[in-house]
Amino acid sequence: MEIVVVWDNFAIRMLAGGAVWGLPAGAITEEHADKAIQRLSKFDVVMFEEDFEKKEYLERAIGWRPENYEKTWKRPSTHVVELTHEQDAQARFTNRFDYKVYDHFRRMPMQKRVKKFQ
């Protein structure tokens, strides 16, 4: 028999601690999202994948120099999973607390999310 584990709000589960990790699907709350925001707010650097395009920030924020990552192996696949409007809406609802955390930090300019710039 195969056991399938499905998690919602994966980022919240990772950031809010062990007790939150084991909660059943659908049990994540806004309080858990707030806890994840509090924890991330203590980090020196909160960056998003799209921030990596600003190479000068990578070096200033975390010491990554272009010669160390520009020639690294990159995934050759260009496959992109496309969701229908209904699937996207369902995923956003199911993971709404992950989106709350994402949106909280995404609205901040990088200069506020990277303490070295403050």
Any idea where the domains of the chain sit in the sequence? 10-19+27-73+81-117
pLDDT of residue 71: 66
Q: How many CB atoms lie within 10 A of CB 83?
A: 11
Against a cut of 0.85, is the pTM above it? no
Inter-CA distances, 3 with 6, 20, Å: 10, 20
pLDDT for the residue 97: 97
pLDDT tens for the chain, residues 1 to 118 = 665 456 799 999 999 888 898 899 899 999 999 999 999 999 988 988 888 777 777 787 778 777 776 666 677 778 888 989 999 999 999 999 999 999 999 999 988 888 876 6
Question: What pLDDT is stored for residue 115 in this prediction?
Answer: 81
> Per-residue b/e over 20-48, b at no fewer than 16 CB within 10 Å?
beebeeeebeeebbbbbbeeeeeeeebbe
- DSSP3 helix / strand / coil % (the chain, rounded to 5): 60, 0, 40
